[in-house]
Amino acid sequence: MSDKYTNMEDIGEFEFIRSIQEGCLFSRERLIRGIGDDCAVIGPYDGKALLVTTDLLAEDIHFIMKNIDPEHLGQKAVAVNLSDIAAMGGEALHLFLSLAIPGTLQVETLHSFYRGVKAMCGRYRVNILGGDTSSSLDRFIINVVVIGHVPESEVLYRSGAAADDYIYVTGTLGDSAAGLKLIKENLSVSESCASSLKMAHNLPQPHLDAGRRIASSRMATAMIDISDGLISDLRHVCDASKVGAIIYQEEIPISKELRALGDTGKLDVLSLALSGGEDYRLLVTVPDEKAVLFEKMFENGEPCQIYRVGQITRAGGIRIVSPDGSERQAEIEGYEHFSQSRL
Amino acid sequence: MSDKYTNMEDIGEFEFIRSIQEGCLFSRERLIRGIGDDCAVIGPYDGKALLVTTDLLAEDIHFIMKNIDPEHLGQKAVAVNLSDIAAMGGEALHLFLSLAIPGTLQVETLHSFYRGVKAMCGRYRVNILGGDTSSSLDRFIINVVVIGHVPESEVLYRSGAAADDYIYVTGTLGDSAAGLKLIKENLSVSESCASSLKMAHNLPQPHLDAGRRIASSRMATAMIDISDGLISDLRHVCDASKVGAIIYQEEIPISKELRALGDTGKLDVLSLALSGGEDYRLLVTVPDEKAVLFEKMFENGEPCQIYRVGQITRAGGIRIVSPDGSERQAEIEGYEHFSQSRL
């Protein structure tokens, strides 16, 4: 290795992405918003904004075959993309699946994977319209693209949050990260509790219905899905909206399963809820004067519970308020490829 | 390995794809045509059909890093997708790029790859709207998605060819396959000839302008791009249109470089022109009564030369007519993953 060259692992994903973002736009035709949100937004066509999202999952980076039922893997590969459509307020329509398949992979495993893909697509009436099937020398690679649409006036971006907006999340946090810990380590906790947390990791549910309801109400100012962790994704909203936030620690929704696992003293529940990734809940900001009406939309717990966890601030940075009223700056947390493994 | 299980390499790509095509459609909303053509066709929106295509390229399956300039690899990864948009008569608009990057890959190599991606996108005014950047344990994986559009009434499918239609191709054939041979083996041929054929393989040009001109003329009945080889892609058109075809061997356009290489006696030019893949020319069928007008559109060689190579027949099967008038059935040729390497 000559000193002249830099490896990807030396600079990391975020610096690399910054380095290639210049010079990507060549035309304004049918373009509403490019790089920088959960989906690209193209159109408008017929008053609709088209949403496009894509995610690549690589074996031994994002998943380990022996740790996940292939059917769950199929469902999850779809769900994480549907969650991006949900985060923009959209309806998911069509899916494209590219696979690089090792010749030694069993056909039965692949059929099980496809059963999962089709089950998740069927649940949300998303068509599988093709993709590309290729061989791979050794590892299984999955690329999913989902296209959705949303009335142009209802698209929710990360960039709309304003000072004093309340911050809501559409479900409990930290379950997926705890499930991942349980998949990797044996912690003494009840079977049903372990199973529920592992399922939160292996079978996340996209909040499409909640996303549509929020967008069509036109009450929210910004939305994102929580894939990297509460603090990390809230930071994306704050950066895009040029604001800060406070989070009330005691308001963070923790499932009873995660609480039970925390009671074993083997892990830090708060840290998982703040920084654990892959919960795929939505984070929404809503002006304080609309909060009552907004909360009313979810009062019967349908399609999900919502929780008010904090408030947007004019001053930058994210502060966490402890139950005793003391405040601290949230650390810079969040997942980065090339510097740690997501496994 | 138990007898109970089947590996992917035992059944091959095409049988696997057949086995998973059932049960992929869950809604007719904004769906024009799903699996089975060069692009999926969605919409209509504002009278436009949206075209979506995706291709996955895996290191050591589709390309070998030491055999291709990374900038050319970037251009080619874009070009093969633009060619699918061209094959439907569309205009390419937006591109999404997912990469799985080994940590040991040099940033300089990636920047060079991106220069190629941007150069090809810039030439056709295609926006790069994002994608996904992830790490990979060892090999470089590239997934490209391109979205285009075309007036709904102008979309060209594989399925419209009818008996007596003439068959045209938009350029010489076999150059890319010959270039690949030259990359792998040292054949004694002039440097300029070798360089030109290697470029045909590493830097194919999508025929977007020709595709748009053909579609907007409304004279053609079917179109496809030649990615798998003339016979193989013509077979796709014949199968979809429920017709057969004859190809006149002496009408197949062969570049002077390929002819020169053939003169060395080291390779079978005809076989490369019939079955070599990755030329990315368009194959078009045109009713005989429109042939004069159709050919007139290209008479000054702009945007490319076209060549009439055969005719659609009512009877199934593809026959090749030799210069002496004798006929033979075209063999079942065409690339299949898992059974041979494309390298």
pLDDT per position as a tens digit, A157-191: 999 999 999 999 999 999 999 999 999 888 888 99
| Band of pLDDT at residue B1, cut at 50, 70 and 90 | very low
Q: How far apart are CA B216 and CA A40, in angstroms?
A: 29
Is the pLDDT confidence value at B70 over 50? Answer: yes
Q: What is the pLDDT of residues B198-218, one digit of tens each?
A: 999 999 999 999 999 999 999
Q: Which residues contact A66 (CB under 8 A, 6 or more apart)?
A: none
Residues of chain B with Cβ-Cβ distance to A139 below 8 Å are: 136-139
Annotated domain spans of chain B: 8-154, 158-329
Q: How far apart are CA A234 and CA A333, in angstroms?
A: 11
> If you measure CA to CA, which chain A residue comes closest to B106?
A7
Q: How far apart are CA B155 and CA B88, in angstroms?
A: 6
Q: How far apart are CA B127 and CA B118, in angstroms?
A: 9
The ipTM of this complex is 0.90
Q: Is B16 on the interface with A (CB under 8 A)?
A: yes
Give the end-to-end CA distance of chain A in Å, rounded to a whole number: 28
Tokens of A43: 């159109």
| Band of pLDDT at residue A3, cut at 50, 70 and 90 | low
Tokens of B108: 């300089």
Q: In this complex, do B45 and A46 lie within 8 Å of one another by their Cβ atoms?
A: yes
pLDDT of B343 reads 39
Is the pLDDT confidence value at B142 over 60? Answer: yes
Q: How many A-B residue pairs are in contact by the CB < 8 A criterion?
A: 278
Q: How many CB atoms neighbour CB A230 within 10 A? A: 30
A343 compared with B157, residue with greater pLDDT: B157
| Band of pLDDT at residue A35, cut at 50, 70 and 90 | confident
| 8 A C-beta contact, residue B50 and residue A50 | yes
pLDDT of B3 reads 53
The DSSP output letter for B63 is: B
pLDDT of B250 reads 96
pLDDT of A336 reads 47
Cross-chain CB nearest to B54 (options A31, A40, A98): A98
Is the pLDDT confidence value at A342 over 60? Answer: no
Nearest chain A CA: its distance from B42 CA (Å): 9
Cross-chain CB nearest to A107 (options B16, B93, B126): B16
* pTM, full prediction: 0.92
Quick check: helix, strand or coil at residue B45?
strand
Q: In this complex, do B23 and A94 lie within 8 Å of one another by their Cβ atoms?
A: no
- Fold for the domain defined by A158-329: Phosphoribosyl-aminoimidazole Synthetase; Chain A, domain 2 (3.90.650)
Mean pLDDT of chain A: 91
The CATH architecture one would assign to domain B8-154 is: 2-Layer Sandwich (3.30)
Q: What percent of chain B lies above the pLDDT cut of 70?
A: 95
B69 compared with B16, residue with greater pLDDT: B69
Question: What is the torsional sign of CA A218, A221, A226, A227?
Answer: positive
Quick check: helix, strand or coil at residue B223?
strand
Q: In this complex, do B17 and A107 lie within 8 Å of one another by their Cβ atoms?
A: no
pLDDT of A200 reads 96
pLDDT of A1 reads 41
Is the pLDDT confidence value at A123 over 70? Answer: yes
Nearest chain B CA: its distance from A327 CA (Å): 35
Q: Is B2 on the interface with A (CB under 8 A)?
A: no
Interface of B with A in 110-129 (CB under 8 A): 110-111, 114, 118, 121-122, 125-129
Is the pLDDT confidence value at A142 over 50? Answer: yes
State the Cα angle at B41 between B208 and A150, rounded to 5°: 115
Q: What is the pLDDT of residues B168-209, one digit of tens each?
A: 999 999 999 999 999 988 888 899 999 999 999 999 999 999
pLDDT of A134 reads 87
Is the pLDDT confidence value at B338 over 70? Answer: no
